[in-house]
Structure 1
Amino acid sequence: MSEPLVEVHDLAKVFDVSPPWLNRVVERKPKAFVHAVDGVSFSIARGSTLALVGESGCGKSTVARLLVGLYGASRGAVRFDGQDIAQTLAGPGALALRRRMQMIFQDPYASLNPRWKVLDIVAEPLREHGLVRDDAQARARVGELLSSVGLNPADAAKFPHQFSGGQRQRISIARALATQPEFLVCDEPTSALDVSVQAQVLNIMKDLQRQQGLTYLFISHNLAVVRHVADQVGVMYLGRLVEVAAKQDLFASPRHPYTRMLLDAIPDIHMTGRARTPVQGEVPNPLNPPSGCSFHPRCPLANERCKAERPALRSLGGIRVVACHAVEEGRAP
């Protein structure tokens, strides 16, 4: 593996979700806080893909927005090619950094301005970063970008409503590629699409990665998609990473009970007869998370230590890390 392009250390984000001041006074309620991301650390090697997976509400999308500077971190640091992102975005180098990292959003129906033609949508970052001199150059460059994602350059004259969901997501990818970035944060880019269209979009992203040496952070709850695109996989639960491993290792021998639970929930189309365990219970209320290990109310291996002491991420040889007392003590199979 090459050197890390992106390094995340002890990243945390706390949201104040308190009711208005007068309501709190009348109802005598304290302030309320949600720890959406709570001490996440990982790195992404240049030219590779790290996928973050987990149930809805586990903090995946918050991590994505923290990495590109849409949210400010409550604690921790993100370094991109050796630069601290928060410091760089607050200084004169902000525009140059934003040119090197871009984001593809989840909903292709909401992320494109319906009043703009495709030409203006894809050309906006080109004009913002001063990458084109005039309209003719912008049209030529937009045509190249649309061709690179499998669309016709003539589509630049159309509006977003004239395209299907998969085509709209290709337009979003073309816009993200306009500044020739090195790092793309993909926040569930295929979850709103049909399965057949998902495959087309994912293949385009894989081809672009090979051709341009792109580095991806890929957010998803679909493990089949993750298996297709990722080099490394990080499993998140209630704002924390519970397991990080190479894709082959994680799918072949998951160690954390939550990871095994997620993999067991995948339908067995080959009918192998392997015993399967459905995902048990519900994700706890993030306003009132469980003590100790946040997964212990749903974990079949939980003991008194799990209820009282929060596990730290520990290395299990190689690049796999797991946060689980049962794995550490040898109680996990």
Structure 2
Amino acid sequence: MSALVEVSDLAKTFDVSAPWLNRVIERQPKLFVHAVDGVSFSIEKGTTLALVGESGCGKSTVARLLVGLYSPTRGDVQFDGQATNASRNAAELRTLRRRMQMIFQDPYASLNPRWKVLDIIGEPLREHGLVPGKEALRQRVGELLQQVGLAAADCDKFPHQFSGGQRQRISIARALATQPEFLVCDEPTSALDVSVQAQVLNIMKDLQKTQGLTYLFISHNLAVVRHVADRVGVMYLGRLVEVAPKAELFGSPRHPYTRMLLDAIPDIHMTGRARTPVQGEVPNPLNPPSGCAFHPRCPHANARCSSERPALTRFQGIEVACHAVQEGRI
């Protein structure tokens, strides 16, 4: 299968300095956060890549870079062989943007409370000129609502008349309005109850089968990732530390951080295997550790880990950034 999305050496740096006058008076330097720091991956057509990691590791920034809400500091994103950067002309960018959409994390914040559902889902249809006239718009919105398990009559209601799970279905319907090929899902179920999460995830899996959608799925819930992903990328402090097929990652994780994340899942079957609890705190991103960013928390770290940053390299069918794995110490 060919890759629909290819990301190479993607980076995003944010200036978080104090105002200029404060810096002059207090003699402070400028401060930068490397939210995403050289991330590379590809997603094949019709598959799901999940990005996981602790809060603040850069997952949502990657999502926003992919759909063009942020412009990258360096690196580029290729969609179906075409660059998505701002150097392209407006018409080409518009066509590309129509083919990729985003589902946001909070269904309460991502829908305009003053608009009816007809206007919310109809906006991308009007914006891209996809339906002629009001009657066709209403009919198309009704079809989209039915696709996500809601009724066509719901188009005359306001967001406050729906539950969280129903709101997220409206968000999915809005994302599907332009018939995209690629959906970026930024923790689309984290604000929902567990029973509702399952319904929304099943809708997304069914849509993927029927429409051949490609997903980048961002989550910190490994149980959700296990349900939806084909491949999993593990992020730590703005960098990918391991990328592997789902079965490989859950069956035999290589990177110590991946092992730590998996050991944090409750052992319902009481298998009795040795588990390493998650230790330490995520370092301050304003002052990251030298070498491998994970070395202060890693039980396998040595002098090389604290001085030399490991590159993401192919190793026995997976990609891993770890000196200990490459040297055979674990």
Bin the TM-score by the shorter chain.
over 0.9
Calculate the TM-score normalised by the size of structure 2.
0.99
Q: Mind listing any 5+ residue stretches in structure 2 that lack a counterpart?
A: none
User: Does the CA-based 8 Å contact 1:89-1:97 persist in structure 2?
Assistant: no
Q: Is 1:273 the equivalent of 2:288?
A: no
State the alpha-carbon separation in 2 of the partners of residues 195 and 21 from structure 1: 46
Alignment of 1:175-186 (within 5 A): 175-186=174-185
User: Does the CA-based 8 Å contact 1:103-1:185 persist in structure 2?
Assistant: yes
State the alpha-carbon separation in 2 of the partners of residues 69 and 147 from structure 1: 29
For 2:91, what is the secondary structure of its paired residue?
coil
Partner of 1:329: 327
Partner of 1:72: 71
Partner of 1:31: 30
Alignment of 1:280-295 (within 5 A): 280-295=279-294
Q: Deviations over 1:11-64 (max 9, x none)?
A: 000000000000000110000000000000000000000000000000000000
Offset of 1:277 from its aligned partner?
1.7
Offset of 1:91 from its aligned partner?
3.5
Q: Deviations over 1:112-143 (max 9, x none)?
A: 00000001000000000001111100000000
Specify the code of the residue in structure 1 equivalent to 2:7: V
State the alpha-carbon separation in 1 of the partners of residues 88 and 54 from structure 2: 31
Partner of 2:125: 126
State the alpha-carbon separation in 1 of the partners of residues 171 and 192 from structure 2: 13
Q: Deviations over 1:157-186 (max 9, x none)?
A: 100000000000000000000000000000
State the alpha-carbon separation in 1 of the partners of residues 154 and 46 from structure 2: 30
State the alpha-carbon separation in 2 of the partners of residues 134 and 60 from structure 1: 39
For 1:86, what is the secondary structure of its paired residue?
coil
Partner of 2:45: 46
State the alpha-carbon separation in 2 of the partners of residues 40 and 170 from structure 1: 30
Task: Go from structure 1 to structure 2 and tell me whether the alpha carbon gap of 1:306 and 1:44 turns closer, same or farther (over 3 Å shift).
Answer: same
Q: Deviations over 1:82-118 (max 9, x none)?
A: 0000046553311111110000000000000000000
Partner of 1:187: 186
Specify the code of the residue in structure 2 equivalent to 1:74: T
Specify the code of the residue in structure 2 equivalent to 1:228: H
Specify the code of the residue in structure 2 equivalent to 1:213: G
Q: Deviations over 1:205-240 (max 9, x none)?
A: 000000000000000000000000000000000000
Alignment of 1:1-333 (within 5 A): 2-87=1-86, 90-318=89-317, 320-332=318-330
State the alpha-carbon separation in 1 of the partners of residues 315 and 132 from structure 2: 53
Specify the code of the residue in structure 2 equivalent to 1:140: Q
User: Does the CA-based 8 Å contact 1:125-1:175 persist in structure 2?
Assistant: yes
State the alpha-carbon separation in 1 of the partners of residues 131 and 10 from structure 2: 36
Moved >3 Å (runs of 4+):
87-91
User: Does the CA-based 8 Å contact 1:6-1:44 persist in structure 2?
Assistant: yes
State the alpha-carbon separation in 1 of the partners of residues 296 and 224 from structure 2: 28
Specify the code of the residue in structure 1 equivalent to 2:46: G
Give the number of equivalent residue pairs: 330
State the alpha-carbon separation in 1 of the partners of residues 170 and 12 from structure 2: 31
Identity across matched positions, percent: 80
User: Does the CA-based 8 Å contact 1:52-1:218 persist in structure 2?
Assistant: yes
For 2:254, what is the secondary structure of its paired residue?
coil
Specify the code of the residue in structure 1 equivalent to 2:245: A
For 2:69, what is the secondary structure of its paired residue?
coil
